Structure 1
Amino acid sequence: MSNNSKSKALGAFLKSRRYRLQPGQAGIRHLQGQRRTPGLRREEVAMLAGVSATYYTWLEQGREVTASREIIENIGKALQLTHDELVHLIQLWNPNETTTVSSTHTKLNLQWQNIMDQLTYPSFISNERAEVLAWNRAANEVIMDFSSLSASERVMIRLLFVDPGLRNRMVNWEEFASYSVAVFRTYYDKHLGDLWFEETVEQLRVESIEFDTMWKQHKIQLKKVNRVSFHIPDAVEAVSYDINSLASIVDHPGLHICIYTPVL
């Protein structure tokens, strides 16, 4: 990712977080008169962060200006970023970030399938593109019949929005979809300039109004234990699972084993 791309992504992220934060939440007294800005003004963020308005404006405009980690963290605090959002902001800012091993491994390793076959709970292995590379029988039965799909179709972020069967089986679809978009957005920003990510997002924004709405919110979320509930055939009640994501497989730290553990 070039420094220019990072600067623009950082600026867009700051702007989205500024729009989200209301004056009252930031302890800023709202004076009479209509505010044209949806959230805080740039000058207000600058004041809260202890930097000049011009300096903050340049950051938000995506200009390549020098900023210390302390300044970036102060801006993060001013915008009341969550822990995950602050981590994301620092990664966008850090000009000395080392290049990571490619996280978009797409070829199936037979050993990975052997691992999946040994697991009883619904499980699959995916990469940062949300492509499902290996899965077990339980995943076919509970989540999606991955075996019936081509490799290009086995992309969880797309299936969530374009496959009506998956959506109808998922009890808490909206909550889980919002979380998934936020995680995918984190990887999208990490791989700025990657045509696969860009084309996938543009296609989904056209295909799904809901995806487009969630994407515009610019939420950021690192992977965490998350809960999802499914309507299972022949089951009287919906079955809930906690999704545990185990990262770093062999030499591919961007791969994740997702294990759906039943909630007792």
Structure 2
Amino acid sequence: MEVRKLKALGQFLRSRRERIQPAMVGISGKYGRRRTPGLRREEVAELAEVSTTWYTWLEQGREVRVSRDVIERIGRALLLSPEEHLHLQRLADYDRMTDPSASPINGIDTGLRQIVEQISYPAIIATFRTDVLVWNRMASIFLTDFDSLPKEACNMTRLVFTDSSLRQNITNWDEFARYGLAIFRSHYDQHPDDPVLEAFVKRLLADSESFAKLWKLHDVQDKKAIRFELNHPGAGPLTFTLNSFSHINGNSDIHLCVYTPVEGTLTEQRMLEFAGQSML
């Protein structure tokens, strides 16, 4: 297993262990006074029915053989959510994500670009690194002016954490940023041999205090429909549901994101009116 992936596995286990209070798993005072938050390593080992030494080596990122059964027992001991449990299995190489190098992007098909341009709502196509490759006019109007950005700046993770105007406009920024970063973290941990991702994270850790703070949590998440609330300076309050569609035309590296107005709000009316005015 790759060195960075072993390290990611250890860091993830420690982060989940430290968030669990002893009372949550029926432990009380067995190992004396506590100096650090969460469970002790020996407590996790006991709950998972593995040796303390072996579990300690696993947390330290040492190269040890891990069976699927043991991984599942550790996941249960740490009270992992289904998504966190899947992430742990992937880190242990029992449920690999598709290797992005197997489906490199050699440009986006013209037909895909036309589809995105014809969508009436803000829509983008992005990579698993969150690089935005294609966007429509509505995305440039209501998200950010992609047309004016250099190619290297068209990255949703970087924009969410470093674009002060966008951050100010997103009224549920904390929820949205945590969700997006948790998805990004899942991909990062599963691709330890990706130097582009490694360099990107190092830069963002230096550029964004908020990113650095959330990065330490090791939260992971699979894609789902999520609410996106925007206070647009021209159109006013807008509420969308962000839906993602993966494996576009068999390419596992790209996904389509569509920001659909929530029914029962004035979002679609305000959006279309403002977009119409901007064409005048």
TM-score, structure 2 normalization:
0.87
3-state secondary structure, aligned to 1:223: coil
Q: Which contiguous aligned blocks of 4+ residues in structure 1 show a shift greater than 6 angstroms?
A: none
Q: Which amino acid aligns with 1:241?
A: F
* CA deviation map 1:13-34 (0-9, x unaligned): 1111111212122221146964
Q: Distance in 2 between matches of 1:11 and 1:200?
A: 22
Change (3 A) 1:31 1:44: closer
Residues 104 and 43 (structure 1 numbering): CA distance in 2 closer, same or farther, change over 3 Å? farther
SS in 1 for 2:232: coil
1:67 partner SS? coil
Aligned to 1:240: 239
1:204-263 C-alpha deviation (Å, 9 max, x unpaired): 111111111000111111111111101124445x11111100001123112110011111
Is the Cα–Cα contact under 8 Å of residues 162 and 208 in structure 2 kept in the other structure?
Answer: yes
Two-structure CA RMSD over aligned residues (Å): 2.0
Report if aligned partners of 2:243, 2:258 keep a CA contact under 8 Å in 1: yes
Say how many residue pairs are matched.
Answer: 262
Asked if residue 172 in structure 1 is aligned to residue 195 in structure 2, the reply is: no
**Number of the residue aligned with 1:199:** 199
- Asked whether 1:116 is paired with 2:116, we answer yes
Residue 157 (structure 2) pairs with residue 157 (structure 1) = yes
Code of the residue aligned with 1:88 in structure 2: it is H
Unaligned runs of 5+ in 1: none
Map 1:34-45 to 2 at 5 A: 34-45=33-44
Counterparts of 2:141 and 2:57 in 1: how far apart (Å)? 52
Paired residue secondary structure (1:91): helix
Give the deviation of 1:188 after TM superposition: 0.8
Q: Against the structure 1 CA distance between its residues 73 and 185, is the aligned structure 2 distance closer, same or farther, given a 3 Å change threshold?
A: same
Query: Percent identity at matched positions?
Result: 45
Is the 8 Å Cα contact of residues 121 and 138 (structure 1) preserved in structure 2?
yes
Q: Which residue matches 1:73?
A: 72
Q: What corresponds to 2:139 in structure 1? A: 139
- The equivalent residue for 2:269 is none
- Distance (whole Å) between structure 1 residues aligned to residue 31 and residue 49 of structure 2: 25
1:136-190 CA-partner distances (Å, limit 9, x unpaired): 1111111111111111000000001111111111111111111111111111111
Does the CA contact (< 8 Å) of 2:86 and 2:95 recur in 1?
no
- 1:127 Cα offset (Å): 0.6
One-letter code of the match for 1:38? P
Q: Which secondary structure does the structure 2 equivalent of 1:129 belong to?
A: coil
Deviations 1:23-74 (CA, angstroms, capped at 9, x unpaired): 1222211469641222110000011111111111121112222222111011
Please name the residue that 2:20 is paired with.
21
Superposition TM-score, scaled by structure 1 size: 0.92
For 2:233 and 2:97, the matched residues in 1 are separated by 48
Partner of 2:126: 126
Per the TM alignment, residue 109 of structure 1 is displaced from its structure 2 partner at its CA by 3.1
Q: CA deviation at 1:6?
A: 2.8
Amino acid at match of 1:37: T
Is 1:226–2:226 an aligned residue pair?
Answer: yes
Could you tell me how far apart the structure 1 residues matched to 2:245 and 2:13 are?
30
Matched residue, 2:189: 189
CA contact (8 A) 1:104 1:127 kept: no
User: Do structure 1's residue 88 and structure 2's residue 97 form an aligned pair?
Assistant: no
